[in-house]
Amino acid sequence: MSDPLLLSVRNLTKRYAVKVLDDVSIDFHAGEIHALLGANGAGKSTLCRIIAGLTRSTSGTMQIAGHAFAPENKRAAEAAGVQIVQQELNQIATLSVAENIMIGRLPARFGVVDRGELHRRARIALDRFGLQEIDTHAITGSLGVGRQQMIEIATALDRDCRVLILDEPTAALSAGESETLFTWLNKLRQQGVGIIYISHRLDEVARLSDRITVLRDGKFICTRQTADVDRDAMVDLMTGESTENQAGDEYVSHQTDRVAMRVEGMSRGRWVRDVSFSVNRGERLGIAGLVGAGRTELLRLIFAADRADSGAVYLNDESTPRRFADPSDAVAAGLAMVTEDRKENGLLLSQSIRANTTLASMNRLFSAGGWIRGAAERQMADRMRESMETRCTSIEQTVGTLSGGNQQKVAVAKWLVRDADIFLFDEPTRGIDVAARRRIYRLFETLAREEKSLVIVSSDLEELLETCDRIAVMSAGRLVASFARSDWSTEQIMQAAFASPDTVAVG
């Protein structure tokens, strides 16, 4: 590689209760996209947080362009040319889009913020990234997760940088948005920016990156040219095991002909428009579609997390619709929902894995006297930790200190331990590594075998094709097509997702 050395890290070690980075040394070059690979909890984010000045290493050194680099905080790292886009959204939900983009750089005239200039400059940052439709006056928190992520990336790209760190940037992006991002990354690479890229989507890594570095259990395993490593080899390096004996599980149907839930005429504004479908017992129903197609909103309406304009949910063969005033009614009726944004909706970050896992099942854990049955609670949490292989010191570890993927495992576990009949999953494996994903698919299968019904929203079409009995497609708020496993094809599903809802017949 002829590109000059840009950033070197030497013997970095980071210790919390245990060592989470252990003597790691890596060279990053200018003008390269360097992917960091590793299972959930391998230490990828921690390494990046040290480079970005968000945390300090316990020992070890770094250099940027030959100069010693030991940032005290994010501002110091930015001054040296390092920008980071983290896994979780870090914008201030109550501020406008323009304020978030320009935070720390607010243009002022005579000591007062120049609003016109603020919006003008934010507009340029968004337009540059193809985000013409986002209003700079909009309140950031009112936009979808995908949009917020795009704004965060646009903000980082708008600041001059030599090193750009992206921690799972595409997890919440649609295919189109991801393509825009890749175009930009290629441009930045040509301009000599060094890009550090974390993703669990190996096809993306293969396509985009020049080199990969693999971390396992906090240790450096190897750096390779991406072109020299195929997908299976990447997984082997990450897990330290051979994939040869880990072929995917055979698909088995557990679908019965008894209806578990019927949704009729569900509507809310322009987001969800007259959606009707049913799901049987033992069925795994996938919902495909582009980001913004209304899939998350549909689940939220069924779960009564938002109020529908019209529409009804019927359970089993009942002819009277259920009226859920809020999610607690839905839970009482046997529904469970795993939400997309674990930080906002799913987890209590300051509480332990144990408390979070059993949170939704508390009624089952109370003894006659009203005390929580501690032993049963611990047992339940321990069982889930084992089956999901959550990487932690113990079930008493605070969820906020787990790696992103491991937090997601707890969010999924919390609902899996509940004795629900109908599970609504919104992007259940977002940020989860390849091996853990397999285990979650197996848990889906177990649930279906127990005649539970699953509705799975996922942007990862491969995931739906692998796990589901049927795939319904949403586009612009409408349910536009539905395909049984026996007659689906990727092309048909993609076509339906991209088609205008008025031109496609429901299959």
Distance CA 150, CA 184 (A): 12
Smallest separation (angstroms) from ligand ATP to the CB of 6? 21
Q: Is 85 in the site for ligand ATP (CB under 6 A)?
A: no
The number of residues that bind ligand ATP (CB under 6 A) is 19
Selected range binding ligand ATP among 16-24, 206-214, 412-420, 438-446, rule: CB under 6 A: 16-24
Smallest separation (angstroms) from ligand ATP to the CB of 218? 7
Cα angle vertex 246, ends 244, 252, to 5°?
135
User: In terms of Cα–Cα distance, which of 11, 88, 5 is closest to 49?
Assistant: 88
Distance CA 104, CA 195 (A): 23
Q: Is 410 in the site for ligand ATP (CB under 6 A)?
A: no
Indicate the DSSP class of residue 342: I
For ligand ATP, which residue of 86, 148, 209, 406 counts as binding (CB under 6 A)?
A: 406
For ligand ATP, which residue of 26, 31, 38, 429 counts as binding (CB under 6 A)?
A: 38
Q: Is 390 in the site for ligand ATP (CB under 6 A)?
A: no
Q: Is 46 in the site for ligand ATP (CB under 6 A)?
A: yes
Q: Is 296 in the site for ligand ATP (CB under 6 A)?
A: no
Q: Is 385 in the site for ligand ATP (CB under 6 A)?
A: no
Q: Is 43 in the site for ligand ATP (CB under 6 A)?
A: yes
Which strand (E) or helix (H) includes residue 404? helix 404-416
Instruction: Give the residue closest to ligand ATP by C-beta.
Output: 405
Distance CA 303, CA 288 (A): 19
**Pairing between strand 335-338 and 422-426?**
parallel
User: In terms of Cα–Cα distance, which of 204, 139, 215 is closest to 178?
Assistant: 204
Q: Which is nearer to ligand ATP, 136 or 429 (CB)?
A: 429
Selected range binding ligand ATP among 43-51, 138-146, 362-370, 413-421, rule: CB under 6 A: 43-51
Selected range binding ligand ATP among 35-43, 104-112, 311-319, 327-335, rule: CB under 6 A: 35-43
Q: Which is nearer to ligand ATP, 36 or 156 (CB)?
A: 36
Selected range binding ligand ATP among 133-141, 255-263, 293-301, 395-403, rule: CB under 6 A: 395-403
Smallest separation (angstroms) from ligand ATP to the CB of 54? 10
Q: Is 404 in the site for ligand ATP (CB under 6 A)?
A: yes
Q: Which is nearer to ligand ATP, 40 or 209 (CB)?
A: 40
Distance CA 498, CA 174 (A): 12
Distance CA 355, CA 97 (A): 35
For ligand ATP, which residue of 26, 31, 37, 40 counts as binding (CB under 6 A)?
A: 40
Q: Is 20 in the site for ligand ATP (CB under 6 A)?
A: yes
Q: Which residues of 249-278 are buried (b: 16+ CB within 10 A; e: fewer)?
A: eeeeebbeeebbbbbeebbbeebbbebebe
Helix axes 231-239, 434-449, angle to 10 degrees: 90
For ligand ATP, which residue of 15, 16, 93, 94 counts as binding (CB under 6 A)?
A: 16
Smallest separation (angstroms) from ligand ATP to the CB of 13? 12
In Å, how far are 50, 210, 283, 482 from 423, measured between CA atoms?
Answer: 38, 40, 11, 19
Indicate the DSSP class of residue 245: G
Q: Which amino acid is at 99?
A: E
H-only helix segments in 129-282: 145-158, 175-190, 202-208, 231-239
For ligand ATP, which residue of 7, 45, 157, 165 counts as binding (CB under 6 A)?
A: 45
Q: Which is nearer to ligand ATP, 390 or 458 (CB)?
A: 390
Q: Which residues bind ligand ATP (CB under 6 A)?
A: 16-17, 20, 38, 40-46, 391, 401-406, 433
